[in-house]
Amino acid sequence: MNEKIKETVDFIKNQIKILPDIGLILGSGLGFLAEKIENSTEISYKDIPNFPYSTVPGHEGKLVFGNLSGKNVVVLKGRFHLYEGWNPETIKFVIYTLRELGVERLLITNAAGGINRDFEPGDVVLIKDIINFQFRNPLRGSNDEYFGPRFPDMSSVVDFEWYEKVKKEFPNLKEGVYMAVLGPSYETPAEIRAFKRLGADLVGMSTVPEIIAAKHCGIKTLSFSCVTNMAAGILDTPLSHKEVVEVANRVKDTFSKIILKTLEVL
Q: Which residues are annotated as a binding site for a purine D-ribonucleoside?
A: 187, 229
Active site residue 216: no
Cα–Cα distance measured from residue 246 to residue 171, given in angstroms and rounded to the nearest whole number: 27
Select from 98, 127, 93, 115 the least CA-distant residue to 25: 98
C-alpha R_g of the chain: 17
Active site residue 241: yes
Active site residue 53: no
Active site residue 186: no
- Given the residues 34, 54, 111, 180, select the one marked as catalytic: 111
Active site residue 163: no
- Given the residues 34, 59, 180, 216, select the one marked as catalytic: 59
- Encode burial over 117-131: b for 16+ CB neighbours within 10 A, e otherwise: eebebebbbbbbbbb
Active site residue 28: yes
- Given the residues 229, 231, 232, 248, select the one marked as catalytic: 229
Residue 172 neighbours by CB under 8 Å, 6+ apart: none
Active site residue 111: yes
Active site residue 205: yes
- Given the residues 40, 50, 137, 241, select the one marked as catalytic: 241
Cα–Cα distance measured from residue 218 to residue 66, given in angstroms and rounded to the nearest whole number: 23
- Residue positions forming the annotated binding site: 28, 59, 79-81, 111, 187, 206, 229
Tell me which residues are annotated as active site: 28, 59, 81, 83-84, 111, 205-206, 229, 241
